[in-house]
Amino acid sequence: MARDSCLSRVTAGVAVGGAVGGAVGAVYGTYEAIRYKVPGLMKIRYIGQTTLGSAAIFGLFLGAGSLIHCGKQY
């Protein structure tokens, strides 16, 4: 079986991190919007900002971790 290229591993790490971060961000954003009684349509914006921010951070760190692991030979 051929080994995956480093780029495909990092891309997969970013994608998985973005998916997990987006899910966590959506749940957390919804909780915070309800908890702090964000008014009206601002809830949608608040949840969206939290979701995208969390997805970006998780994706960045999981992609960086995948990049670090690319060079290691086991």
Residue 56's closest CA among 7, 8, 6, 19?
19
User: What integer pLDDT is reported at residue 74 of this predicted model?
Assistant: 61
**2 or 30, higher pLDDT:** 30
Over residues 30-68, the pLDDT tens digits come to 999 999 999 999 999 999 999 999 999 999 999 999 999
Among candidates 66, 49, 50, 74, which has minimal Cα distance to 7?
66
Decide if pLDDT at 2 tops 60: no
Q: Check: CB of residue 6 under 8 Å from CB of residue 67.
A: yes
Q: What mean pLDDT is predicted for residues 8-27?
A: 96
How far apart are the C-alpha atoms of 32 and 47, rounded to whole Å? 8
- The structural domains of the chain, with segments of one domain joined by +, span 1-72
Q: For position 1, what pLDDT does the model report?
A: 38
How many angstroms separate the CA atoms of 42 and 69, rounded?
Answer: 40
pTM of the predicted model, to two decimals? 0.86
